[in-house]
Amino acid sequence: MELKNRKIRLILIFIIFFMFIFILSNLNIPLDPYTDLNSHSYQINESNNSNMLLADLNLMSVNQILNPHLGFIETLGMTPIGGVMKIGPYGNKSSQIKIAYIIGVHPAEEGSHKGIYNAISKNQSDLKYCYYIYKVHVRSNDNYDESRYYGQLLAYKYAVNDIKKNKFDMVVDVHANQGKYEEKTFVFTAIPNNKSLLVANFLAKNLPGLSYYIPPRSNEPTSAPYISEPLIKNGIPTIVYETYRYEAFNLTEKKAHDFIMVLDDFKF
């Protein structure tokens, strides 16, 4: 009798589990991690607490069950000001070379972030190295400087620490500018590290329209002290990639595609 009851319980558990999966698959949940963070998450009212952000980010686990081709999605951390997710691996999962792209640090520069995400996720079968995307999500904030600062704090606390722990071979911090510099599309390294300079100059040499250019420091919160500098000081080559914030998105996306493919050609 006891054995029979145990079998019945197991059958009921399986039935409930598959019913749960079926219900989730019919819900209107965004299936793209970029879309999910930049539409659904942004609708949370500021009056809600960090538990709602936790629930929101945990939707990514559901998305991973329903869409295994997206890559594994890990929530590294969440706070009342936002959270960070690690998405991947993309490309050649067995490669010994691991490269990280950090996107979302400055929320207003969304086009450049989405361009890189799309380029990697759509072209991963053509990549010979292994890639991860660190997606920083800053909760809706109308204060331009404050949102930049929060993104930098989140990236430093979660993305930078995870990258150091996992000893990545290369990091690209992705941004966009307002066109006030001498160059609009460029790469640079915050500290003149040999490997970082080699990679940045290789990209500038092989990508038409891309320059090696160090922009002047502005009064706006800037990411270098939170991302590039601590990573380089820990022996991880890091560059900043900047594109023009107000260009057509199809151009941003094409630049992103060319960028990831040329970086994939660099011999580490």
Percentage of residues of the chain with pLDDT beyond 70: 72
By DSSP bridging, strand 186-188 and strand 130-138 are unpaired
SS3 label, residue 122: helix
Rg (CA), the chain: 20
> What is the pLDDT, as a whole number, of residue 21?
47
74-96 tens-digit pLDDT: 999 999 999 999 999 999 999 99
Give burial (CB, 10 Å; 0-12/13-18/19+) of 227: buried
The CATH fold of domain 71-265: Aminopeptidase (3.40.630)
Is residue 124 within 8 A of residue 158, CB to CB? The reply is no
27: pLDDT strictly greater than 60: no
Average pLDDT over residues 20-36: 40
> What is the DSSP code string of 215-231?
PPP-SS--STTTTHHHH
Residue 210 CB neighbours (<10 A): 22
Confidence of residue 35 (pLDDT cuts 50, 70, 90): very low
Which two tokens mark 45? 């009212």
The long-range contacts involving 53-57, CB below 8 angstroms and separated by at least 24 positions, are 53/78, 53/79, 53/80, 53/82, 53/83, 53/139, 54/78, 57/83, 57/85, 57/137
HSE-up of 260 (CA within 13 Å, CB side)? 33
What pLDDT was estimated at residue 11? Answer: 66
Helix pair 2-25, 50-66: axis angle to 10 deg: 100
CA 214 remoteness from chain centre? 23
Asked whether the beta carbons of 157 and 77 are under 8 A apart, the reply is: yes
- pLDDT for the residue numbered 53: 42
- The pLDDT value given to residue 66: 40
Q: pLDDT, tens digit, for every residue of 99-125? A: 999 999 999 999 999 999 999 999 999
The predicted structure's pLDDT at residue 250: 96
Question: Mean pLDDT, to the nearest integer, of 56-68?
Answer: 43
| Token code pair at residue 145 | 């400087």
Give the model confidence (pLDDT) of 209-244 as tens digits.
Answer: 999 999 988 766 789 999 999 999 999 999 999 999
pLDDT interval class at 15 (50, 70, 90): low
Say whether pTM exceeds 0.85. no
Per-residue pLDDT band for 31 (boundaries 50, 70, 90) equals very low
- Is pLDDT of 57 > 90? no
Q: Which element (helix H / strand E) includes 210?
A: none
